[in-house]
């Protein structure tokens, strides 16, 4: 598929497309912005390679999608507070984001999109997988769909099971933790079946990382169905896998795509820059 501004090459039948022939380091035309946004909605995650982006330029690019956010629990870059650096050093075993999830689902209004730029990547490993939660919903039986209607998921920002969020920031991402006094205050509910505000498609919105239980139910009662739905979302036919390199940029729709950073590069360094984006 060829657009006037760039070429689109889909990564899988389910999700993801690589956009080539466009330089994001320069100002974009209104047509280019519209075409990128169209590809973003259609494919849920779009990828660009060989891009030379400063932190300031990354933030400026994010503004085409909405309002760049400052991450609640880690300090941003001095020159661009909206940019969070995610670094795994060779001596670290744990990594950040190595579970299926969508970003900041514990907020009353989670970010609509996330932008991840690769500064340094290992020669092998360090890929990210993405899953289409709309296709996952579509594949459910009519009986299951009917049962899920009206269920709400309770999400929490606490990571007590992993030694606390402050420990996770330091051990997994080389981040400087902040606002730890508020780590247990972010708890909210969202519909398990979420309707995309721009496309109208229904998507499953649940994960085992911050999803605590279903509203009105205990954790023990909720866990079996939550675990089944999370496994269902991650079925291979709903996913794609992206091999990033320095200069690669991924932008995904946090409302309908789940992602998983694969931790298979022990002894090597990975340095990424992340910006989450709210509705304008």
Which entry of 172, 232, 258, 274 is annotated as an active-site residue? 274
Angle at 227 between CA 145 and CA 238, to 5 degrees: 65
271 is catalytic: no
272 versus 166: the higher-pLDDT residue is: 272
101 is catalytic: yes
138 is catalytic: no
Q: Kindly tell me if the per-residue pLDDT of 180 is higher than 60.
A: no
What mean pLDDT is reported for the chain? 90
216, 187, 101, 44: CA torsion to nearest 10: 100
274 is catalytic: yes
The average pLDDT across 36-60 equals: 97
Q: What is the CATH number of domain 7-278?
A: 3.60.130.10
Element (H, E) at 35: helix 30-43
Domain ranges of the chain: 7-278
CB 112 within 8 A of CB 277: yes
pTM here? 0.91
3-state SS record for 38-87: HHHHHHCEEEECCCCCCHHHHHHHHCCCCEECCCCCECCECCECCCEEEE
The average pLDDT across 147-173 equals: 68
Which entry of 259, 270, 273, 278 is annotated as an active-site residue? 259
Distance CA 249, CA 274 (A): 10
Q: Kindly tell me if the per-residue pLDDT of 164 is higher than 70.
A: no
Instruction: Dump pLDDT digits (tens) for 108-146.
Output: 999 999 999 999 999 999 999 999 999 999 999 999 999
63-77, 164-178, 196-210, 236-250, range with the lowest pLDDT = 164-178
């Amino acid at each position: 598929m060829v657009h006037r501004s760039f070429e689109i090459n889909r990564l899988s039948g389910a999700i993801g497309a690589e956009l080539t022939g466009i330089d994001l380091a320069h100002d974009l035309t209104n047509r280019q912005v519209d075409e990128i946004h169209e590809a973003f909605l259609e494919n849920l995650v779009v990828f660009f390679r060989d891009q030379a982006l400063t932190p300031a330029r990354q933030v400026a690019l994010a503004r085409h999608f909405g309002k760049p956010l400052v991450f609640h629990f880690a300090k941003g870059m001095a020159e661009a507070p909206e940019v969070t650096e995610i670094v795994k050093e060779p001596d670290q075993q744990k990594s950040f984001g190595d579970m299926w999830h969508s970003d900041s689902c514990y907020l009353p209004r989670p970010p609509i999109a996330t932008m991840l730029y690769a500064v340094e990547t290992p020669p092998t490993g360090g890929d990210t997988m993405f899953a289409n939660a709309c296709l996952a919903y579509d594949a459910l039986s009519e009986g299951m769909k009917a049962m899920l209607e009206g269920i709400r998921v309770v999400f929490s920002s606490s990571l007590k099971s992993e030694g606390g969020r402050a420990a996770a920031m330091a051990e997994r991402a080389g981040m400087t933790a902040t606002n730890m006094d508020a780590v247990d205050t972010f708890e909210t509910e969202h519909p398990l079946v979420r309707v995309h505000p721009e496309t109208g498609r229904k998507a499953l919105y649940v994960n085992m990382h911050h999803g605590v239980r279903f509203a009105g139910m205990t954790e023990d009662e909720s866990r079996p169905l939550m675990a089944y739905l999370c496994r269902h979302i991650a079925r291979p036919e709903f996913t794609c896998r992206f091999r990033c390199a320095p200069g690669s940029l991924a932008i995904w729709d946090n409302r309908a795509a789940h992602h998983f950073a694969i931790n298979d590069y022990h002894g090597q360094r990975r340095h990424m820059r992340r910006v989450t984006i709210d509705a304008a």
